[in-house]
Amino acid sequence: MANRIKELREAAGLSLDGLAKLVAVDRSTIWKLETGRQKLTVDYLKAIAAALRVDIADVVESRGSEKAAEVSGLAATSSVVEMPRGLELIPVVGAVQAGHWVEALELPEEEWEWISAPVDPRLRQVKRFGLRVNGRSMDLVYPEGTILVCAKLLDLGIEQQPGQRVICLRRSREGLMEATVKEYVVDNGRRLLMPRSSVPAYQQPVELHDPGPDDANGDVLVFALVLGSYRSEI
């Protein structure tokens, strides 16, 4: 199996050292992978594709258009796994606070983590991103540390529906953009953002309504929809 790591690395303007840092290996490992002196395992393949921000299929080329080849025990053809076993890589770009409004920050790309998530044919054209949950106001649904897989409502082309969990933004009095995660509920015509918490102090809803001059919650925007979640069981 031939690979295009060197070609893609140079196209991205990265040195051996630069790519090695992103993949968290030493320089010689990248050189060996580029030159075929080291086996290109699936783990290396995913990490390098993520670092270069390309599809796995872009990294690997089969020698022969019809004959199947092996990559770390996985059969692959010239079309190569879009993602092993129907998965795709999703960047975890920051964190969201459950319980408090906190400044919405997106991490620099070099600090992004990456997780694998099932491919959803309905969302092939939608950019998905991950957010790590901090705090306990949604701990009945999302314990602290859970990673939420999200997409912007604008990209989905839909509006939020009752019962869905959503990422909300608001502008603070200091002008900062703040974020939280809540469940969207409609109760007797009132549109509410509900925490789902075991902690009494975190059980008050936020009402969505037109802003007033002294209303800190009047500028709330439902920004993204939670599509799925992942948490470790250990």
pLDDT of 91-147, one tens digit each?
Answer: 888 888 765 555 556 777 777 888 878 888 888 788 899 999 988 889 999 999 999
**Structural tokens at position 90:** 């999703």
Range(s) of the domain holding residue 20: 2-82
What distances in angstroms separate CA 77 from CA 4, 52, 144, one per listed residue? 15, 22, 41
Helix axes 16-23, 27-35, angle to 10 degrees: 110
Are 111 and 224 part of one and the same domain?
Answer: yes
Query: Is the per-residue pLDDT at 76 higher than 70?
Result: no
Total H helices, total E strands in the chain: 6, 14
Closest CA to 48 of 71, 81, 25, 75: 25
Are 101 and 57 part of one and the same domain?
Answer: no
Domain boundary among 82, 110, 134: 82
Are 47 and 96 part of one and the same domain?
Answer: no
Are 26 and 105 part of one and the same domain?
Answer: no
Query: Is the per-residue pLDDT at 90 higher than 80?
Result: yes
- SS3 label, residue 160: coil
pLDDT of 62-73, one tens digit each?
Answer: 433 332 233 333
Closest CA to 10 of 18, 50, 41, 2: 18
Domain count, the chain: 2
Provide the CATH number for the domain around residue 195: 2.10.109.10
Are 100 and 167 part of one and the same domain?
Answer: yes
Are 10 and 102 part of one and the same domain?
Answer: no
Query: Is the per-residue pLDDT at 150 higher than 90?
Result: yes
Domain boundary among 50, 82, 114: 82
Closest CA to 98 of 234, 194, 217: 194
Task: Give, as one character, the DSSP assignment of residue 106.
Answer: B
Are 41 and 64 part of one and the same domain?
Answer: yes
Provide the CATH number for the domain around residue 57: 1.10.260.40
What distances in angstroms separate CA 106 from CA 91, 111, 119, 162, one per listed residue? 11, 10, 24, 27
Helix axes 42-52, 16-23, angle to 10 degrees: 110
CB atoms within 10 A of CB 146: 20
Are 63 and 100 part of one and the same domain?
Answer: no
- SS3 label, residue 44: helix
Report how far apart the first and last C-alpha atoms of the chain are (Å, whole number). Answer: 36
Res 77: pLDDT: 33
Res 69: pLDDT: 35
Are 30 and 102 part of one and the same domain?
Answer: no
Beta bridge partners of 193: 184, 206
Query: Is the per-residue pLDDT at 78 higher than 50?
Result: no
**Dihedral sign for Cα atoms in the order 3, 33, 22, 228:** positive
Task: Give, as one character, the DSSP assignment of residue 146.
Answer: P
Report pTM: 0.61
Are 12 and 106 part of one and the same domain?
Answer: no
Domain boundary among 82, 100, 125: 82
Strands 165-171 and 177-187: antiparallel
Are 134 and 194 part of one and the same domain?
Answer: yes
Q: Are 19 and 32 in contact (CB under 8 A)?
A: no
Which helix (DSSP H) or strand (DSSP E) does residue 32 occupy?
helix 27-35
